[in-house]
Chain A
Amino acid sequence: AQSVTQLGSHVSVSEGALVLLRCNYSSSVPPYLFWYVQYPNQGLQLLLKYTSAATLVKGINGFEAEFKKSETSFHLTKPSAHMSDAAEYFCAVMNYGGSQGNLIFGKGTKLSVKP
């Protein structure tokens, strides 16, 4: 069965510092992987997705993530945090093709950015 583990329910960084949000997945077949962001009182916005092409995926707002099969990881990074990055971030995994289209989410990591 698929699963996603996000390490750290809360992460706090200073403005300008590196953002690193960790995600590890479990999947019996090659997965699709996603990062979503949810700003306060809003819906889900897709940040980026990995669909078996390049292992380093660039997304919106300066975020990127690297798919590492050997580590079963898909960590999200941003070189320099901005106050506007404060939000909750969700990692998700999906088995592509056939009948395995379910999207399974991690529990989320809330990012705080200090001035």
Chain B
Amino acid sequence: EAQVTQNPRYLITVTGKKLTVTCSQNMNHEYMSWYRQDPGLGLRQIYYSMNVEVTDKGDVPEGYKVSRKEKRNFPLILESPSPNQTSLYFCASSSGRGYTFGSGTRLTVV
């Protein structure tokens, strides 16, 4: 089954403790992206990747890092999480004609 898999689904962490949210797709898509969703703000793009070793900032990249060492994986790294990064995060991959989204990761930073 074609899918984008994010882990974990839920995460509560403390301020400053580094964390990684994993994202993997099995569709051989070149394009992958991370979004965060906040009430009243819709989904805003954090980072995207056009291909292996090619990443670029989206609209809200501050406080996040990404890497794309393999085509299928696109992890989101929060090196020093802060409470304003509490949000719902979605990973997505695209063939250029449409997107497939993961199920989301609800992150709470206390």
Q: Which of A60-115 contact B (CB under 8 A)?
A: 90, 94, 96-97, 99, 101-108
Contact B31 A101 (CB under 8 A): yes
Size category, A interface: 20 to 34
Binding site secondary structure of chain A: loop
Within 8 A of A (CB), among B25-67: 31, 33, 35, 40-45, 48, 50, 58
A46:B50 contact, CB within 8 angstroms: no
Q: Are A96 and B96 in contact (CB under 8 A)?
A: yes
CB contacts under 8 Å to B, within A14-49, are: 32, 34, 43-44, 46, 49
Say whether B96 contacts A101, CB under 8 Å: yes
Q: How large is the interface on B (under 10, 10 to 19, 20 to 34, 35 or more residues)?
A: 20 to 34
Across chains A and B, the number of contacting residue pairs, with CB separation under 8 Å, is 50
Task: Give, as a whole number of angstroms, the nearest-CB distance from B70 to chain A.
Answer: 19
Q: How close is A8's CB to chain B, nearest CB, in angstroms?
A: 13
Chain B contact surface mostly: strand
A107 nearest CB neighbor, chain B only: B42
Please give the distance in Å from A73's CB to the nearest CB on chain B: 18
Whether the pair B42, A106 counts as a contact (CB closer than 8 A) is yes
- Cβ-defined contact, B99 with A43, below 8 A: no
What A residues does B96 contact at CB under 8 A? 96-97, 101
Q: Are B98 and A90 in contact (CB under 8 A)?
A: no
What residue in chain A is nearest B42 (Cβ atoms)? A107
| Residue B102 lies at the interface, judged by CB distance under 8 Å to chain A | yes
| Max chain B C-beta neighbours (<10 A), residue from A9, A43, A90 | A43
Does A107 lie within 8 Å of B48, measured CB to CB? no
| B-side contacts of A94, CB under 8 Å | 99
Q: Is B92 interfacial (CB 8 A cutoff)?
A: yes
Beyond the given A103-B33, A103-B94, A107-B41, please list 13 additional residue pairs across the A-B interface where CB-CB is below 8 A: A9-B40, A34-B98, A44-B101, A46-B98, A46-B99, A49-B98, A51-B97, A90-B43, A104-B45, A105-B35, A105-B42, A105-B44, A108-B42
